Amino acid sequence: MLKIQRKQPPSLDSFLPEGAETPIRDEALGAPTEVKVERIADLFGQIMETLGLDLRDDSLRETPQRFAKMYVQEIFRGLDPQQRPRIATFENRYQYKQMLVERDIRLHSCCEHHFLPILGRAHVAYIPDRHVVGLSKLNRVVDYYARRPQVQERLTQQIAVALQQDLETPDVAVWIEASHLCVAMRGIQDEASVTVTSAYEGRFREPAIQLQFLAAIGKVGSEAAAQTGPLAMLIQESKSSALGDKGESSDALD
Ligand code: ZN
């Protein structure tokens, strides 16, 4: 019997510690985008039909195709290892050794239990060692891991570990605050609640450094942090409404 040798697909999260990986069938990653889109369009059309919708209606006719493209190319883009942002770092020539905080990075993700949106903000910080990075790369790392079916705890961890690896420093902090539409639209129907998760790695586990980070993102008063030492850091506010648009945080290194 002829056995078709498939090219070994790239592994999605091989660098992440056990438990932090997205549960994925690695063999499925290699399937071409068009095949995935076609299959999902077919299956989503069946869901719509099962709900009783008439797909001959000209408003609905293209929905399965539109839905499938959106899933594969946008909302779940982070399941494609080729899309992992390539992070070019630069030598830390200015010997900047304080924390750098990038705050208010917009976050669009999707809950893996209900497939409904998770919308919020991420704040990330790192203390450079020998390398620094173009600032919008921090946004891109957040966005890549957000574009998967997620639970917020794992998303927080994935971003922290990816940044440690890309920036070659153990000193990384991530804070995410987000609304889950599965909590707002169904079940308990609480539109006001916000879920907060955080990851403190390396020196961010030291209370004084952690407090400075929390002050920088406005979670504790700066007086409290000032008592622990001088507040020396660079804070960059993310103004981006969409990645790739001109409003994104600009930086000479970018
Ligand atoms: Zn959910």
CATH at 101: 3.30.1130.10
Q: Are residues 111 and 65 in the same domain?
A: no
Regarding whether 157 and 96 lie in a shared domain, the answer is yes
* Long-range residue pairs from 206-209, CB within 8 A, at least 24 positions apart, any chain: 209/99, 209/127, 209/171
Indicate whether 12 belongs to any domain.
no
122-172, pLDDT tens digit by residue? 999 999 999 999 889 999 999 999 999 999 999 999 999 999 999 999 999
Q: Are residues 47 and 121 in the same domain?
A: no
Q: How confident is the model at residue 16 (pLDDT cuts 50, 70, 90)?
A: confident
Looking at the structure, tell me whether residues 53 and 137 fall in a common domain.
Answer: no
- Inside any domain, residue 242: no
Residue in 102, 150, 152, 248 annotated catalytic: 152
C-alpha 75/C-alpha 52 separation (Å) is 26
CATH number of the domain to which 70 belongs: 1.10.286.10
Give residue 253's pLDDT band: very low, low, confident or very high (50, 70, 90). very low
**111 noted as active-site residue:** yes
The span from the CA of 151 to the CA of 114, in Å, is: 11
At 233 the pLDDT is 65
Domain boundary, last residue among 11, 43, 75 = 75
Neighbours of ion ligand 1 (CB under 5 A): 111, 113-114, 182
Residue 105 Cα, ligand 1 centroid: separation in angstroms? 22
Query: What pLDDT shows up at residue 9?
Result: 52
Residue 185 lies in a domain: yes
Q: Which two three-digit tokens encode residue 137?
A: 């790369």
pLDDT at 10 (0 to 100): 61
Whether residues 216 and 158 fall in one domain: yes
65 & 158 share domain: no
- Alpha carbon 184 to its chain centroid, in Å, reads 21
Asked if 100 and 236 count as a contact pair (C-beta separation under 8 A), the reply is yes
Together in a domain, 44 and 167: no
| Residue 8, in any domain of the structure | no
CB 198 within 8 A of CB 173: yes
CA of 151 relative to ligand 1 center, distance in Å: 8
Query: Is the domain of 173 the same as that of 67?
Result: no
Same domain, 34 and 125: no
- What is the rounded end-to-end Cα distance, in angstroms, of the chain? 52
Domain boundary among 75, 101, 131: 75
- 151 and 33 both lie in a single domain: no
Active site residue 114: yes
Burial 9-28 (b: 16+ CB within 10 A, else e): beebbeebeeebbbeeeeee
The reply to whether 251 falls in a domain is: no
21 found inside a domain: no
Catalytic status, residue 165: no
Q: Show the domain range for 51.
A: 27-75
Q: Is residue 68 part of a domain?
A: yes
Same-domain status, 192 and 66: no
Number of domains in the chain: 2
User: Is the pLDDT assigned to residue 221 strictly greater than 90?
Assistant: no
Where is the domain boundary, 42, 75, 108?
75
Domain assignment present for residue 247? The answer is: no
| Statement: residue 248 has pLDDT above 50 | no
Claim to verify: residue 65 and residue 97 sit in the same structural domain: no
Of these residues, 102, 111, 158, 248, which one is catalytic? 111
Catalytic pick among 114, 153, 165, 168: 114
Question: In the chain, what percentage of residues exceed pLDDT 70?
Answer: 86
Which pLDDT belongs to residue 147?
Answer: 98
CA distances from 152 to 191, 197, 241 (A): 17, 7, 21
Give the span between the Cα atoms of 79 and 148, in whole angstroms.
Answer: 6
